[in-house]
Amino acid sequence: MNKLEKNKNYSNQRFEDIKHIDENGIEYWYARELQAVLDYKEWRKFENVIKKAIDACENSGISAFEHFVGTDKTIKMPKGATKNIKEYKLTRYACYLIAQNGDSRKRVIALAQTYFAIQTRKQEISEKEYRLLTEDEKRFYQRDLTRKGNYSLNQTAKNAGVKNFDRFHNSGYKGLYNGEIADDIAKRKRLRYREDILDNMGSEELAANLFRITQTESRLKRNKVDTEKKACDIHNKIGKIVRKAIKEAGRNYARRLTNTKEKFKAT
């Protein structure tokens, strides 16, 4: 292995080392930690790169607010004092845009461009490429989308007044699964205690749930829902609509949805 390859492996690991995962399995990076890895000594100069990346994001027709989340960070000062400084939580795509707009004379920037480009591309699968995936690969891909969709739905539901999230999610399951709640689905699939039902679904079943999730979030926002009861009613209604659509399109699939005992290995 030559010197460049050694540097590449080391740098790739550095990007992984500063990656964070939230409670919903969503990955993110902190800008100030990325600044250090990309060898920028001054925040002022690095923030200029971030601003260029934000402009590139907006110019591509993508909302920068979803990828560059501004926040504050508290740091310790001498004599026990503290100070709030500006910080960003970045998605993988945001990191890629930052690398693309960084100082190309830095070797680590070139490595970052390659690393984040490859990793970002892995998450962007075209319809043709999706058809070529194995069932397991499709399931992994759909599970990742569903996990992210649930995280977004939870934020919207919270803003709509939902406090009992078990009740809210079970309302959707009842609609889609003909009256079954999460515990019923888990029992039917013969899952062990605390096994996630979403980790034990095939690609078709995950796609049906993702459709339920995205359509519910859209309806909550569009109707400006402000009570938990209304949110639960809408989630249940959307679940029934998705079930009906599946039944009309696939005849027996809606019945299979609540009859299958197939269990998959968790992702």
Kindly report, residue by residue over 164-206, the tens digit of the pLDDT.
999 999 999 999 999 999 999 999 999 988 788 988 898 889 9
DSSP string, 14-42: HHHHT-EE-TTS-EEEEHHHHHHHTT---
The pair of three-digit structure tokens given for residue 262, joined into one six-digit string: 């197939």
Asked if 24 and 103 sit in the same domain, the reply is: yes
What pLDDT band is residue 235 in, cutting at 50, 70 and 90?
Answer: very high
Q: What is the predicted pLDDT for the residue at 257?
A: 57
For residues 132 and 251, state if they share a domain.
Answer: yes
Selection from 112, 141, 244, 154 nearest residue 201 by Cα: 141
Tell me how many degrees the CA angle 84-19-139 measures, rounded to the nearest 5: 135
| pLDDT of 29 above 80 | yes
Q: Are residues 170 and 220 in the same domain?
A: yes
- Same domain flag for 151 and 222: yes
> Is the residue at 206 inside a domain?
yes
Instruction: Give pLDDT, residue 258.
Output: 54
Q: Could you give the angle at the alpha carbon of 70 between the alpha carbons of 148 and 14, nearest 5°? A: 70
Report the DSSP pairing between strands 27-30 and 68-76.
unpaired
* Residue 266 within any structural domain of the chain: no
Domain residues for the domain of 197 are 127-259
* pLDDT of 4 above 50: no
| Residue 69 shares a structural domain with residue 147 | no
Same domain, 33 and 67: yes
Exposure b/e, 235-261, CB count within 10 A at least 16 = b: bbbbbbbbbeebeeeeeebbeebeebe
Q: Note whether 226 and 144 are same-domain residues.
A: yes
Residue 79: count of CB within 10 angstroms of its CB: 5
Higher pLDDT, 77 or 183: 183
Q: What whole-number distance in Å separates Cα of residue 100 and Cα of residue 90?
A: 14
Q: Among the three residues 103, 122, 141, which one is the final residue of a domain in this structure?
A: 122
Phi, psi at 88, each rounded to 5°: -130, 140
pLDDT of residue 8: 42
135 and 255 co-located in one domain: yes
DSSP string, 222-264: HTT--SHHHHHHHHHHHHHHHHHHHHHHHTTHHHHHHH-----
Per the structure, the count of domains in the chain is: 2
267 has a pLDDT exceeding 60: no
Residue that is last in its domain, among 122, 148, 168: 122
The answer to whether residues 98 and 117 touch, using CB atoms and an 8 Å cutoff, is no
Evaluate whether residue 264 is within a structural domain: no
Calculate helix-pair angle for 43-59, 92-100, nearest 10 degrees. Answer: 110
pLDDT tens sequence across 32-67: 999 999 999 999 999 999 999 999 888 877 888 889
Q: What is the pTM of this model?
A: 0.52
Same domain, 197 and 118: no
More reliable by pLDDT, 231 or 25: 231
Q: Which of 122, 144, 165 is the last residue of a domain?
A: 122
